[in-house]
Amino acid sequence: MSKRRLERVQDAVHGLMKFRGMETAVIRLLETRELQRLRRISQLGLASLVYPGAEHSRHAHSLGTAYLAIRFGRQLQDAAVEFLPPLMHPGPVEIRDLAIAALCHDLGHGPFSHTWEDQCIGKRDFDSKRDQWAEQFGMNSEDCKELKWHEIVGRGLLLWPGGDLHNRLKEHDESMPRRIQALLGGGYHVPYLSRLLSSDIDVDRGDFLLRDAIQCGVSYGRYDLEWLLSCVTLGYYNDNVVIGFDLSKSRRVIEEFALAHRAHYETVYFHHTVKSAELMLGLFFKRLKWLARERREDLERRFPRHASIITIAAGDVLGPEQVLELDDVLLWSFLSEVAKTPREPDDILCDLAWRLLQRNLFKAIELPRAESSLPLPTNEMLVEQGLRLVSPRTGRKLTREEFREYYLCPFNQDRDILSTKDHDCGFFIDTTRPDRPAIMIQRDREFRALRTMSITTSRIYVPREVRDEAKKILSSRRTAE
Amino acid sequence: MTIGLAENGSAGETATQDCECPELSRDFYLHFEKPTPLSHRGKQKQVYRAIWKPIQREVIVKYHKDENRTALTELEMVAHPLSLSHPNVVETYVVGSAPQVFLVEREVTPLHNGWVLHGMDEAVTLLCHIARALSFLQRKSYIHADIKPENLGLDRERFILMDFGVCKKLDKFDPARDEAGTVRTRAPEVLAKSSPRSHQSDLWSLGASMFRLFTQRFPLVLDGEEVPLDKEDHAASDRVREMIRQRAKDENLWRTDFWRHDCWSKVPPRLEPLIRKMLARDPGERIDSEGVVRYCEEEFAPYLLEDLPAAPVMLASQKEMLSVLRALRAGKAGVGFKPNLRNLPLLTRQRHAQWLSELLLLNHLSADNRTFIQQQLQELKEGQQP
């Protein structure tokens, strides 16, 4: 037996991660610019403002996900041999591809991860520019219709001929970048492997639930990973081979996983203070976009080192080289530059930046679900109080419109625990039957409750100075109604 | 008339073909059927493709024409290292009894003369696998003496060393007389007759083969020069052979033309130092096969295909073949397995092509299935176009 090369990495979540032979390609790819950039992008965005330990990077998460992909892949090799013909077995090349795809699945994230995409890029703005972004990254618009910004950017970076990552993948063989893209987006020659990268129970969630829980210091995200690994297998759903979990052995661990997922969202991702910071960043960018439309050249002159941020705010798209500049460091330094002078370029912009830097965050007032769909309180008393108590550091009096636009923020979000779509749902596999049927987890009797369980949050965020008055006004409004 | 393969693997009638090889003995037909000659008739050693009756699969059969000759003598020299199997040495069996014994080899896809290596995965895997085979031979004190691209084969992602026709024990080579093996990949010290054949000369041949697979030229053969083929016996070929020998002796030419040739730009930069060490003019400075294996395992682990299943059974069962065919059919219909053939990794494409080719060898295959498989093979070939 030949002695295969071994690379070892110590990790807070998985302990000693070992990569053998072809799997060491993962370690080699870490040296590329595209993946080194992920060291400078926080996994949990602004959650470190609430959980001081939550400063781990996308880089650590990506490496952990790649390691999990290898472990799941090896289990599937054993499962495939039992009942699939050799053509459909995941071989060493396929396992390596899977690990690399897992490593690259978050390649396109911007500063502060989802916060950037939700608050800075913005869904509506992005939808209007989707084709331009796709073109800039050499992607086909048709293929990008359902993709988010970070997915287009990530897959574009894989195919970018000028990129380190692309060229290093091509060293293996010419088709490798396209194969990795196919694994992420569908069309891989062993099609069932893609579900390991994106589904209710996938390697991405498998890593971040544990990692975020450990780093934040919360107990909710834990589940029995080793048992979950031992239950992974293959079955048939509508004549397609799918990845799933042994029905007779995995019910409890799947339940544990789903509940951990829910608890994590409630306590960490949707934490009211975390959301406050994210929404304030969104307000900052809202103001920046308005300014960029009015005074782009002025902004570019004032902030030459942050040209890429100004370009996006102005509604233009970036190329791959410029996207590689985008990281948390750039955004924090931009906030810092803006906050320096209270009057220029804009006092509201400066105020919002200053509040973020000082952790002077807006406060949340929980609204009953029934109120979440109502228009923002137009109660003149709330606005009057706001105008009286809130002003930028210049001392200028805000207008009513400015207060409503930049100092009042509703938040309303639903999230389902289990997917309702075939292409990314999780499966149980009945291994006692020769036809190995797969059953969607959410259709299982015991798990129907999980299917309908969703996290619903409705709040309104106001500056700290206004909180007490706002509470009084909102509760008196409810009483009157 | 042929009938399609039924679900349970049973078959109907088959058409029989008339044998066109009257020179073959009764002993041959005891073990084999439907032979197709592969070598020039009249030579001492005959090579055929035929169906090996006990397992009903096509194999390569080699034997000595002269029945009176004790064929065991040659087979002792040839088969002995092969009887101790190694995963990177062609699977070989000895069939029959003295005086007429047959050497049966599993058919492996050879790397034809125009084969070009695409990417480090294929290059490193090929280099390491063949170096392991050479290391195995070295431990048994054998020299292959005919390493060239055509004697390297691919069998389901495993590279195989083939054709041990001139393979001998180290002490059996006579430097004064030895002209065995191709001149295209012959080591310079053997061309110049300054040193006997050695394990290091095999390494030079492997290095020359790798050079050829990257650059499409042999190290000591100039651009546009007609390469003498082994089987030809022309005076012109002798002249070219002599020129190549002179080049091997010319130190200046070695340093300038060969070592600095533009062709080296086609060798991947990461592999260039290793290939150069294999092509060192002085055998004493050349890296050995163990060194090549270690280098590949340590420096090129991300590219090296390992963890293959245990050495493949000579031939898959019909049941296994049926399941492969069923899977491919399901994929074509858009159900289950959907191979995107154009995006397959190179080695996986070759593995699929081999499976498909083996399916075609099944005796009782319906016309419809045969057409389907041929279409799939065509798609795979098209996917290989750059």
Q: What is the ipTM of this complex?
A: 0.75
Which CATH number characterizes residue A97's domain? 1.10.3210.10
> Using an 8 Å Cβ cutoff, are A138 and A156 in contact?
yes
> Which residues in chain B are contacts of A28 at CB distance < 8 A?
302
Which CATH number characterizes residue B37's domain? 3.30.200.20
Flag whether pLDDT at B310 surpasses 50.
no
Do B49 and B194 fall into the same domain? Answer: no
Question: From start to end of chain B, where are the E strands?
Answer: 32-37, 45-52, 57-64, 92-97, 100-105, 109-110, 142-143, 152-155, 158-161, 168-169
pLDDT in tens, A84-118: 766 678 888 889 999 999 999 999 999 988 888 88
Residue B126 lies in a domain: yes
Q: What is the mean pLDDT of chain A?
A: 87
DSSP 8-state class, residue A6: E
Residue A373 lies in a domain: yes
Residue, of A155 and A410, whose pLDDT is higher = A155
Do B157 and B296 fall into the same domain? Answer: yes
Tell me whether B348 touches chain A (CB under 8 Å). yes
Phi-psi region of A204 (alpha: psi -120 to 50; beta: other; left: phi over 0): alpha
The reported pLDDT for the residue numbered B385 is: 42
Residue A305 lies in a domain: no
pLDDT in tens, B7-19: 333 333 222 344 5
Closest Cβ opposite residue B327 in set A2, A87, A170: A87
User: Are the Cβ atoms of A241 and B337 closer than 8 angstroms?
Assistant: yes
Neighbouring C-beta atoms of residue B275, cutoff 10 Å: 22
Do B145 and B247 fall into the same domain? Answer: yes
Length of chain B: 386
Residue B4 lies in a domain: no
Alpha-carbon span A322 to A310, nearest angstrom: 12
Do B118 and B243 fall into the same domain? Answer: yes
> Using an 8 Å Cβ cutoff, are A48 and A42 in contact?
yes
Which CATH number characterizes residue B218's domain? 1.10.510.10
Q: Which residues of A touch B (CB under 8 A)?
A: 2-5, 20-25, 28, 84-88, 91-94, 96-97, 170-176, 178-179, 182, 187-191, 236, 239-241
Residue A49 lies in a domain: yes
Do B137 and B226 fall into the same domain? Answer: yes
Q: Which of A227, A243, A258 is the last residue of a domain?
A: A227
Flag whether pLDDT at A360 surpasses 80.
yes
User: Are the Cβ atoms of A171 and B355 closer than 8 angstroms?
Assistant: no
Residue B6 lies in a domain: no
Neighbouring C-beta atoms of residue A288, cutoff 10 Å: 24
Neighbouring C-beta atoms of residue B254, cutoff 10 Å: 17
Residue B260 lies in a domain: yes
Residue B116 lies in a domain: yes
Mean pLDDT, rounded, for A149-160: 93
> Using an 8 Å Cβ cutoff, are B363 and B11 in contact?
yes
Identify the bridge partners of residue A428 per DSSP, sorted by sequence position: A245, A439
Residue of B nearest to A1 (CA): B307
Closest of A80, A81, A61, A57 to residue A69, by C-alpha: A61
Residue B310 lies in a domain: no
Residue A302 lies in a domain: no
Sign of the alpha-carbon torsion through A270, A273, A274, A276? positive
- Which amino acid, one-letter code, is at B106? R
Q: Which of A175, A202, A227 is the last residue of a domain?
A: A227
Neighbouring C-beta atoms of residue A325, cutoff 10 Å: 15
pLDDT in tens, B195-238: 778 899 999 999 999 999 998 888 887 666 666 555 455 555 67
Q: How many CB pairs under 8 A join A and B?
A: 122
The reported pLDDT for the residue numbered A216 is: 94
The maximal CA–CA distance of chain A, rounded, in angstroms, is 81
Segment among A48-52, A435-439, B96-100 with least mean pLDDT: B96-100
Q: Which of A227, A248, A263 is the last residue of a domain?
A: A227
User: Are the Cβ atoms of A93 and B304 closer than 8 angstroms?
Assistant: no
Residue A475 lies in a domain: yes
- The number of distinct structural domains making up chain A is 2
Alpha-carbon span A236 to A89, nearest angstrom: 15
Dihedral angle of Cα B232, B235, B237, B238, to the nearest 10 degrees: 120
Sign of the alpha-carbon torsion through A384, A390, A391, A392? negative
> Which residues in chain B are contacts of A188 at CB distance < 8 A?
340, 343
The reported pLDDT for the residue numbered A27 is: 95
Flag whether pLDDT at B315 surpasses 50.
no
Identify the bridge partners of residue B88 per DSSP, sorted by sequence position: none
Which residue range(s) make up the domain with B33? Answer: 26-105
Please provide the distance, in angstroms rounded to a whole number, between the alpha carbons at the two ends of chain B. 40
User: Are the Cβ atoms of A175 and B323 closer than 8 angstroms?
Assistant: no
> Which residues in chain B are contacts of A25 at CB distance < 8 A?
302-303
Residue B309 lies in a domain: no
The reported pLDDT for the residue numbered A311 is: 93
Long-range CB contacts (within 8 A, 24+) of A134-142 = A136/A317, A136/A318, A136/A319, A136/A320, A137/A319, A137/A320
> Which residues in chain A are contacts of B323 at CB distance < 8 A?
85
> Which residues in chain A are contacts of B306 at CB distance < 8 A?
2, 4, 21-22, 92
Residue A303 lies in a domain: no
Closest Cβ opposite residue A187 in set B268, B340, B386: B340
Flag whether pLDDT at A477 surpasses 80.
no
User: How far apart, in Å, are the Cα atoms of A180 and each of A96, A154, A163, A291?
Assistant: 10, 11, 15, 40
Do B163 and B47 fall into the same domain? Answer: no
Joined tokens for residue A253: 């661990």
Tell me whether B341 touches chain A (CB under 8 Å). yes
User: Are the Cβ atoms of B121 and A189 closer than 8 angstroms?
Assistant: no
Residue A66 lies in a domain: yes
Closest Cβ opposite residue B340 in set A84, A86, A182: A182
Question: Residue A252's pLDDT band (boundaries 50, 70, 90)?
Answer: very high
Q: Which of B87, B105, B123 is the last residue of a domain?
A: B105
Which residue range(s) make up the domain with A105? Answer: 6-227
Joined tokens for residue B146: 């005919």
Segment among A313-327, A414-428, B76-90, B299-313 with least mean pLDDT: B76-90
The reported pLDDT for the residue numbered A70 is: 96
The reported pLDDT for the residue numbered B31 is: 87
Joined tokens for residue A370: 């029934």
DSSP 8-state class, residue A441: G
> Which residues in chain A are contacts of B348 at CB distance < 8 A?
91, 93-94, 189
Residue B21 lies in a domain: no
Joined tokens for residue B359: 């399916």
Q: What is the mean pLDDT of chain B?
A: 72
* Token pair 């063949």 in the structure block, residue: B130
pLDDT in tens, A443-457: 888 887 776 556 666
- The number of distinct structural domains making up chain B is 3
Q: Which of B253, B277, B303 is the last residue of a domain?
A: B303
